[in-house]
Amino acid sequence: MSWKIDPSHSEIQLSVRHMMISKVRGRFESFSGEIDFNEENPAASVVDVTIDASSISTRDPQRDGHLKSPDFLNVEEYPALRFKSNRVEVVGERKGRIYGELTIRDVSREVVLDAEFTGTAKSPWGTTSAGFSATTSFDRKEWGLGWNQALETGGILVGDKVEVSIELELVKQ
């Protein structure tokens, strides 16, 4: 069954270490996708999500500009990020792992989303919605996002590990 992402009730957030002492958080403001969520057989589900790379927001326009530059996402040349699932593994009553290809800057690598199905509900307008939470992390350098700067006290300015947190509300089509 086809489900569409409800963007006003969904969020894709990320965080990365800054100067090795704190985390900077950001989010993508614009994304879309369709999920073929098979309620009877969740392992047969398929996920395909496209993220507008230029919609990244960390609440700092200067940093956002740098993230959009060729040092990082290079949004002029690569306007979208994409996640397309290869398989879903059910690991509990409401938990699963979604294996898929994450494409950033035309580099595709497998990532695994640890996902949780949070339920379904019927809206007052007669539509049916389903909720999902998912997390993953990856090394940004594997996608060519290697820009960094050494700190005079030792260490680096930007951590390599990107942590991603996803909250999706889907509407049954």
Residue 3, beta-bridge partner list: 35, 172
Q: What is the mean pLDDT for each group of 10 consecutive residues in the chain (173 residues)? A: 92 93 95 90 94 97 95 96 97 95 97 96 95 96 88 85 96 94
Confidence (pLDDT) at 38? 87
Domains of the chain are 2-172 (2.40.128.110)
Confidence (pLDDT) at 19? 87
Confidence (pLDDT) at 81? 98
Contact 56, 12 (CB under 8 A): no
pTM of the model: 0.92
Residue 125: CB partners within 8 Å, gap ≥ 6? none
Strands (E), the chain: 2-5, 11-18, 22-28, 31-36, 46-52, 56-57, 80-90, 95-104, 107-122, 128-139, 161-172
Query: How far, in whole angstroms, is CA 49 from its chain's centroid?
Result: 9
Confidence (pLDDT) at 149? 84
Contact 49, 83 (CB under 8 A): yes
Confidence (pLDDT) at 97? 98
Q: Rg (Cα) of the chain, in Å, rounded?
A: 17
Roughly how many angstroms between the first and final C-alpha of the chain, as a whole number? 8
